[in-house]
Structure 1
Amino acid sequence: MNIEQLRADTPAVAQLIHFNNAGAALMPAPVIETMTRHIQLEASLGGYEAAGQCAAELENVYGAIGRLINAQPDEIAVIENATRAWDMAFYSLPLQPGDVVLTSSTEYAGNYIPYLQMQQQRGIKVRVIANDEHGQVSLPALKTLLEEERVALISLPVIATNGGPVQPIEQIGALARAAGVLFLLDACQAVGQMPIDVHKIGCHMLAATSRKYLRGPRGMGFLYVERSLCQNLEPVFLDLHAASLQTSNTYMIRADARRFENWECNVAAKLGLGCAVEYALAQGIEPMWLRIQHLAGYLRQCLADLAGVTLRDTGSLTSGIVTFTHQRNSATQIQQWLAAQDKRINVTTSTFRSTLLDMQHRGLREVSRASLHAYNTETEIDTMIAALDGLPSV
């Protein structure tokens, strides 16, 4: 990869070290320019007129996302964030009393809460798949649950927000397909970081965000729904974009995945998402994934040599999200120490509130999270390690 060009396209790396890519990565210059140009166009022409002038470019966003995950443009909905995209898929499912939803211990709290709501409202059952010895979903345990329970849905994140394993999603998908069970993936930390092919995975639905490893703007995400499933799912709410009024008594829901969208959207952000996808594809997802894994491995090695530091990542396959705890200092203190003006190193704190099941299981309340991208460097990692080595005792 051309690391120098990646960094040249990322102006902020001259002023700071950004290891919070699992929160919001630094946008590359082409994305910033695309969004700025459209905002200026809106200012000079008007919002509707500017969108009309960019109609072809907006349409291309669907094709770009399709190429990114090996889907068709009509299987893609562009939605204001990944949470709402996931919600639109999940709440459209015709779950019945007694239906079982299977998830992982690494599930995000924002997804687990809807499971509990449907448990209260519709009488579904929520089951957490046991982990194997590596801390990822146990495939034998999953197979047993599929044989013994009335499973309607498997739903889990590819990579947890607090680190942990890259789940064996292709094997999970194969088991789901064989059992005739729907498979919904939260790919927020995966899309843009690692290759994602919905056909190889076998998932029926997938939600992802713009702002993390794709390096797009905040407030934008997308949803994939397999074509053969899409027309069997009715969104929980509709508008004149998702459906059309036929008579005073009838309406028709559109046939493609855009039935999950709504009329109003941030056009500049949508164009920014499309540009971010094109930028990622031009760099190559596979080379970026290899570099991210290399950098994360180097960071883990360096952290393992630091006194008082305990690595907290699990899984036989790990990602660019590196988590650790410190014997003397809290994750919040580490975050503040690294962010100080003379250091300007961005990491974050991941707490039990976002991944309650996993953190409780491991006896953790918080971890420090450093998430690396391809534009980061070994020198930046060395700088962070030196800063951690100088942590004051508290």
Structure 2
Amino acid sequence: MLDVTRVRADTPGYDADSGLVFLDSAGSSLPPRVVLDTVVGHLRREAEVGGYRAANERLDDLAAIKTAIGALINAPASSIALSDSASRSWSDFFYSVPLAEGDRVLISEADYASNAIAALQRARAVGATVEKIPSDGSGQLDTDALAAMVDERVKLVSVLHAPTNGGLVNPAAEATVIAHSVGALVLLDACQSAGQIPLDVAELDVDALSVTGRKWLRGPRGTGFLYVRPELAAAMEPQRLDLHSGVWDAPDRYRLAPDATRFEFWECDVAARLGLGAAVRYLLDLGPENVYAAIAARAEHLRKTLPQISGVTVRDLGIRHSGIVSFTVDGVDSVAVRDRLAEQDITVTVSHASSTLLDMTARGLTSVVRASPHCFVGYDELDRFVAALAAL
């Protein structure tokens, strides 16, 4: 059972007395105090002794970040590369997958714009094709259609675990089995699932997984990580290297790092990375399963109450749901809904069609409002949000 009183007390930016109702953890969540103190404390230390010495003092703590992440996703620390975002992680792996003329890349219908743009750019450059995996009647990725699509020319399948524009959760493990049957690699975008949905890379069996720190993990902005299957991490050559990802050991030769470190660069925001480690350890300390259950319960509360408001339509698809609740209000633009709620210290956000073009176009939607309550949000605050929405 989650100690909600503790979680609320641990969140300096979230004080019920302030009147804030924060429903944007799918965008950038509120970090717990330990994250704030870790980041600010390290910045102060850099100001005292300089960045190099401050980092050298924290070498063990920096190494422990990957250990904590590994515990969260059931992976060895050596298979994890730290980055500045989920998009960077996704791109670093994607651009390292060999592609040639005639090869095929398959993407989810709900795939994110950053992933689709990168896939289209690279396909254009090498003569490959990018194809959409259809959705089934529930709105989730259609595994039967995927099975009919795959052949030996499919080199990579991009699966979006939880879309940015709604509560859908795609059947990632099932899709991976199908992709592997023809030798294709699977890159799972777990940007919206890490921190709110169980992630076990051994069970999912994906080849790579990209994550951001600022959403449900409650870490700082400018952080993220990439998981790469250990045998691939020791064999793939990233498109970009530096003296951290490789060693210049002869005038005409370099040697790659032996593990996922080859996907990292030396320069980074040390304070932010320490904050990411603090966020992951905080989640592990709370008990991830407790946090996941609390998020799911709050989202389900909204899915039950929002349809009771005249003119409000919940737009979530799929069979299994995440902590994101998407909706529209008849006759009121999504941006106007967001802004009018913000006037009452209720924070939601808007997901536009340009972020998930294939899915939104297919459904005839230009935008949706997105409410994403974390475990620190109280049910009384959810009801206050519902009442404010009804008043619109």
Match of 2:14 in 1: 13
Deviation at residue 133 of structure 1 after TM alignment: 0.9
- Give the letter aligned to residue 192 of structure 2: Q
Q: Distance in 1 between matches of 2:204 and 2:69?
A: 16
Deviation at residue 164 of structure 1 after TM alignment: 4.0
Report the 3-state secondary structure (helix = DSSP H, G, I; strand = E; otherwise coil) of the residue aligned with 1:49: helix
Q: Is 2:320 the counterpart of 1:287? A: no
Q: Distance in 2 between matches of 1:80 and 1:282?
A: 24
Q: Is 2:150 the counterpart of 1:155? A: no
Deviation at residue 329 of structure 1 after TM alignment: 0.9
Deviation at residue 149 of structure 1 after TM alignment: 6.0
Q: Distance in 2 between matches of 1:210 and 1:103?
A: 23
1:148-187 paired onto structure 2 within 5 Å: 148=151, 150-187=153-190
CA displacement 1:49-106 (0-9 Å, x = unmatched): 0100011000100101111111111100001111111111000111111111111110
- Give the letter aligned to residue 44 of structure 1: E
Which range is displaced more, 306-315 or 285-294? 285-294
- Give the letter aligned to residue 24 of structure 1: S
Deviation at residue 179 of structure 1 after TM alignment: 2.8
Does the C-alpha gap of structure 1 residues 252 and 321 become closer, same or farther in structure 2, counting only changes over 3 Å?
A: same
Match of 1:368 in 2: 369
Match of 2:91 in 1: 87
Match of 1:47 in 2: 51
Deviation at residue 230 of structure 1 after TM alignment: 1.5
8 Å contact kept, 1:163–1:322: yes
Q: Is 2:275 the counterpart of 1:275? A: no
Deviation at residue 374 of structure 1 after TM alignment: 1.0
8 Å contact kept, 2:161–2:170: yes
Which range is displaced more, 153-162 or 168-177? 168-177
Q: Distance in 2 between matches of 1:79 and 1:372?
A: 26
Q: Distance in 2 between matches of 1:149 and 1:77?
A: 29
Q: Distance in 2 between matches of 1:179 and 1:140?
A: 15
Match of 1:66 in 2: 70
8 Å contact kept, 1:100–1:149: no
Match of 1:121 in 2: 125
Q: Distance in 1 between matches of 2:390 and 2:271?
A: 43
Q: Distance in 1 between matches of 2:324 and 2:233?
A: 33
Report the 3-state secondary structure (helix = DSSP H, G, I; strand = E; otherwise coil) of the residue aligned with 2:218: coil
Q: Distance in 2 between matches of 1:280 and 1:231?
A: 29
Match of 1:352 in 2: 353
Match of 2:144 in 1: 140
Percent identity over paired residues: 44
- Give the letter aligned to residue 143 of structure 1: A
Q: Is 2:238 the counterpart of 1:235? A: yes
Q: Is 2:220 the counterpart of 1:209? A: no
TM-score, normalised by the number of residues in structure 2: 0.97
What number of residue pairs does the alignment pair up?
Answer: 388
Match of 1:27 in 2: 31
Deviation at residue 258 of structure 1 after TM alignment: 0.9
Deviation at residue 151 of structure 1 after TM alignment: 1.0
Q: Is 2:113 the counterpart of 1:112? A: no
Deviation at residue 172 of structure 1 after TM alignment: 1.3
TM-score, normalised by the number of residues in structure 1: 0.97
Report the 3-state secondary structure (helix = DSSP H, G, I; strand = E; otherwise coil) of the residue aligned with 2:354: coil
CA displacement 1:153-210 (0-9 Å, x = unmatched): 1112101100141001111122223332210011000000111000100100011000
Which range is displaced more, 171-180 or 111-120? 171-180
Q: Is 2:203 the counterpart of 1:200? A: yes
Q: Distance in 2 between matches of 1:126 and 1:267?
A: 37
Q: Is 2:305 the counterpart of 1:302? A: yes
CA displacement 1:128-167 (0-9 Å, x = unmatched): 1111110001111111112x46211111210110014100
Deviation at residue 12 of structure 1 after TM alignment: 2.0
Which range is displaced more, 232-241 or 50-59? 232-241
- Give the letter aligned to residue 131 of structure 1: S
8 Å contact kept, 1:100–1:126: yes
The CA RMSD measured in Å over matched residues stands at 1.0
Q: Distance in 1 between matches of 2:6 and 2:380?
A: 17
